[in-house]
Amino acid sequence: MSKVAVIGGGYVGLTTAACLADLGNHVTVVDIDKDKIAQLKRQQVPFYEPGLRELVERNSNAGRLHFTTSYMDAVPGAEYAIIAVSTPEGESGEADLSYVEAAATSIADHMDGPLVVVNKSTVPPLTGDMVSRVLKKRNSHHAATVVSNPEFLREGSAIHDFMHPDRIVVGSHDPEAARKVAELYAPLEAPVLITPNIYTAEMVKYASNAFLATRISFINEIAMISERVGADAKLVAEGMGLDKRIGPAYLDTGIGYGGSCLPKDVAALAALAERFDYHPGMLHAVMDINRDQRMLAIDKLRECLETLQERVIGLLGLAFKPNTDDLREAPSLDIAKVLLAAGAQVRAFDPAAMERTRVLLPDVEYMADAYDLAAGADAIVIVTEWNEFRHLDMSRVKQLMRRPVIVDGRNIYDPSTMKGLGFTYRGIGRE
């Protein structure tokens, strides 16, 4: 059993801590948010992630998982200190590393022996060197080695992704430290890539997320062309995905990507490239397409309703993806703000994200369920592809609506079926 300190109790930090504890390690989570730590001590998870509450409860009860606001309770005696704090987008698109630097400073101030410091936060190349400088400057008495170990967790399936990873990536200027971090994951029996330096491991994360974002923006551009020539973009994507060289993942046409990773990581990689005097034309195109894509819902509503003034518009889904309550860079926020500014009455329903959204969008009316949302609505926009929305009684929905207009921002319905039921239906790339 290893003693591990995890700095940060967010999606990545808490999932990592709970899973490492489940593998038999003694893990203490440090977070400066007193309310969050109080919740976790009560075995309450402050965000929605399937299965995580049960994992936290089991390992807390077993004495393997602890929570604190004090570095003194976590870092002394630890073999590993894992940094899993936020790296939000800065003013110019660059990654804001202030939380990483603060975590490294506090680790250095409390370490009492040799320590492997693991960067699991999504950080650009050269960040490991910055962390190493902070550690050496703040604590010259004890050796600390920095290892990059990027995470590849998807919200909504984070526990499965941790326990059944496609690969484990570790990199360090110290090969022995990298191998030691890889040993933490030995019970998972996953492929391990140990890179010869820390920069390569850091770049793997950014390159992976940028490529996934590129696939989404590419298929959405294909959708726009398909719509104009009468092709069905969803079937085009299916045909492409059957090619083993391409595969089907991240080829879902719709109103674009959101979340805590893809938007900021593409922007940060572009900012990094420009810092080194390289113009990342493709990355800028990916961001431009994604920004424009979410406004398609507005265009299609105007086309169907002529005006948005005083129209009652229902948003089905608020979170950026299903099985999470995360609203970071969620298309719903932009769509709702544009609709409200245009004079529409906006109502919404989401199985998990409404409490979080109330704070951000207080002028939206929040409904009890999808049918409550449909009653008297002039149009409904499918924003998040929650599975329960695929199985609604659409005949009932039509009867409840004032105007039977559906803008399917995630292409979850069949156009011919919807038109057969009497809806004015608009998908993405499926006219």
Cα distance between residue 296 and residue 287, in whole Å: 15
Q: Sign (positive/negative) of CA torsion 45, 49, 51, 55?
A: negative
Residue 108 tokens, joined: 């250095």
Burial grade of 97 (CB within 10 A; 0-12, 13-18, 19 or more): buried
Q: Which residues fall within 8 angstroms of residue 251, CB to CB, at 6 or more apart? A: 215, 216, 219, 237, 240, 241
Contact by Cβ (8 Å): 220, 235: no
Q: Could you give the angle at the alpha carbon of 429 between the alpha carbons of 423 and 430, nearest 5°?
A: 40
Residue 35: Cβ within 10 Å count: 9
Q: Which of 181, 60, 205, 185 is nearest to 52 (CA)?
A: 60
Task: Reply yes or no on whether 304 is catalytic.
Answer: no
337-357 in b/e burial notation, b at 16+ Cβ within 10 A? ebbbebebbbbbbbbbbbebb
Cα distance between residue 369 and residue 391, in whole Å: 13
Q: Sign (positive/negative) of CA torsion 16, 19, 22, 24?
A: negative
Cα distance between residue 282 and residue 263, in whole Å: 14
CA–chain centroid gap for 334, Å, is 17
From the candidates 261, 301, 305, 381, give the one annotated as an active-site residue: 261
Active site residues: 261
